[in-house]
Amino acid sequence: MLAEIDYLHRLNPEQRRAVEHGVGTGTVGGPLLVIAGAGSGKTNTLAHRVAHLIVNGADPRRILLMTFSRRAAAEMSRRVERIAGQVMGTSSGAVTDALNWAGTFHGIGARLLREYAPHLGLDPQFTIHDREDSADLVNIVRHDLGFHESKSRFPAKGTCLAIYSRTVNAQGELAEVLKEAFPWAAMWEAELRRLFARYVEVKQSQNVLDYDDLLLYWAMMMREPAIAGDLGSRFDHVLVDEYQDTNRLQAAILLALRPDGRGLTVVGDDAQSIYSFRAATVRNILEFPQSFSPPAEIVTLDRNYRSTAPILDAANAVIAEAAERFTKNLWTDRASAMKPQLVTVRDEPTQALYIVEDILATRERGVPLKQQAVLFRTSSHSGPLEIELTRRNIPFVKYGGLKFLDAAHVKDMLALLRWAENPRDRVAGFRVLQLLPGIGPGTAGKVLDAMDEAPRPFPMLAGLPAPARAEGWDGFVAAVTGLAGSRDWPATFSRARAWYEPVLEEAHEDAAIRLLDLLQLEQIASGYPSRERFLTELTLDPPDATSDQSGVPLKDEDYLILSTIHSAKGQEWRSVHVLNVVDGCIPSDLGTGSTHELEEERRLLYVAMTRARDELHLLIPQRFFVTQQQKHGDRHLYAQRSRFISRAMLPLYDDILWPPLKPLAAHTTMPRANVDLRAQMRTMWAK
């Protein structure tokens, strides 16, 4: 009992109730829903529950833990090891090492599909396309079907893929998805249906899966009773983090794994459901308790350990207006006399000036730039601020922008490795072949056609005559076939880089800088046991941060955080500024078409507000200048405060006008007139 107190005594009563649910009863407990408010210690509670299960005899090899990033899963495993170590001592490491079913939905899905491939009609050597590769393949199919030649504009490749993805993940009808999310493309329903059918056929012929396939195939696999029963019997406990961000496919997978709900724990916050553009639906968490008989037990974590009381009061008031939610009001012991600030400014450039002045003043008070953040609804909203930060020599890192893996040279290297892993991957082969001087799209297509007809593609490649204009063909063939036949990892990466370096130097003037990226990628690769694991994990969980530093490179280790609200979820900072808290931005003009869209915009503001620990500034520009006008034009629109902050909520804020109005100069006595202007006017016209 003493050991139990040692590792559970810091939990509050609600957290402890969630951790101990169904443990020590001799049977696996029933379904549990933990409604965890922002800053309520959700991750800590889930880690304690996993550790508590292991300490009380649960087999870690039979625990399935799913999060929404691989890094979150790794952090969860470290916490579990630390907590279990307090009770189990040195043996905890070995125990938690057995917690090998911790990862993302997509990562676990890919692993299970390879394992069950012989029973599913799949080749276990399939490769996985990222979003850009999938869009490229859609574009190839789009051209093959002649849809690019239409008299009216057919949806671009990225839009086509977005429609496909939303239809799959939402498990909806194509017609309904087009009507709700892509109404301008509804006229192309028949053509899109043909496009997607052909897209599926091409993926299968090339032995590739995309992101959506990993969930779709897993869900369809679970419809087979024998497979569902076998897979469900492998796990005693299934725990899911951030359940409010799941889509219908993910919910269906969980219900198939645990039809009676026994051993199933989901943690989330309906007030932070903000990913409907990824087909996530808040209905999953709202309807979870009633999915089982008897209904799932609900534990609400409403004590906030992050924000001050005035910030929570303001955030609670915003979310209290939600049409449908689990009732909770966050509270805290962190008292403060400082209310959140509603800062009214003239326009966006003035908004940028205010933020820069305030963050510098806050820094002088001892708050590092890293502990301050500027959040915004859309990445483009930060443009004027980025200009001002660069002008003032303030370093910053922006989240929610371009990705490391989107760089051309990085994609070249990954395509080379992916083609060596799967010679049927036509998108990868098409990109790699065109790296060779003298080979264009036409020649690359002919080479791939010849390989497609062969039972062993790479021996066929070695037997092909060199294309007429190709330079270095023999060396290229030798390098590619050597990579395909090698399982010596990560040495294979080094050989691939050695072949690619001359190509890199020829194609890019800044080859030396780009080579550093490849060396970094090679270092990442060395942490994986195989080429297949490396390609899978990097595709499913890529880096998502970009930096824009003032100078080359950062002159110190401190920098300001810029982030979209979506990318900021799960983070916290001592001081937070939220840009453009006005109608048209929050909520977005595009997010007011329906009630559920408007409610998600409300939750988005709530998420932004609850990222702040000590200081919260909501910026309200009064004017927005119209784009695409003449230089020095003054066409503008007036904005009003976000509808989510009503007049009744204003006492919860300090209302500030910046810059402050200057007082009028004191009245002074005018000097006596010494000039008779009237007389001068009378004589003005005298001759």
Whether the bond into 490 is cis, omega within 30 of 0: yes
> For 356-384, what is each residue's pLDDT tens digit?
999 999 999 999 999 999 999 988 788 88
Q: Is the pLDDT of residue 96 over 80?
A: no
CB 364 within 8 A of CB 540: no
> Distance from CA of residue 569 to its chain's centroid?
9
Arithmetic mean of pLDDT over the chain: 86
pTM exceeds cut of 0.85: no
Closest CA to 612 of 652, 578, 575: 575
CB 62 within 8 A of CB 28: no
pLDDT of residue 180: 86
Half-sphere exposure of 504 (CA within 13 A, CB side): 22
Q: Is the pLDDT of residue 221 over 70?
A: yes
Residue whose entry in the numeric block shows the structure tokens 């294309």:
467
pLDDT of residue 628: 46
Q: Is the pLDDT of residue 175 over 90?
A: yes
Packing angle of the helix pair 473-485, 408-421 (nearest 10 deg): 60
Rounded Cα distance, 506 and 517, in Å: 17
pLDDT of residue 168: 93
Residue whose entry in the numeric block shows the structure tokens 């709700």:
180
> For 461-478, what is each residue's pLDDT tens digit?
888 888 888 888 989 999
pLDDT of residue 3: 45
Report the range of poorest mean pLDDT among 52-56, 148-152, 349-353, 486-490.
Answer: 148-152
519 φ, ψ to 5°?
-65, -40
Sequence-distant (≥ 6) Cβ neighbours of residue 331 within 8 angstroms:
302, 303, 304, 309, 312
Output 226 or 525, whichever has higher pLDDT.
226
DSSP string, 134-195: HHHHHHHHHHHTTGGG-SS-PPPHHHHHHHHHHHHHHT--HHHHHHHH-GGGGGGHHHHHHH
What are the counts of helices (DSSP H) followed by strands (DSSP E) for the chain? 28, 17
Name the percent of the chain lying above pLDDT 90.
Answer: 50
Beta bridge partners of 656: 343
Output 213 or 400, whichever has higher pLDDT.
213
Report the range of poorest mean pLDDT among 191-200, 517-526, 550-559.
Answer: 550-559
Q: Is the pLDDT of residue 409 over 70?
A: yes
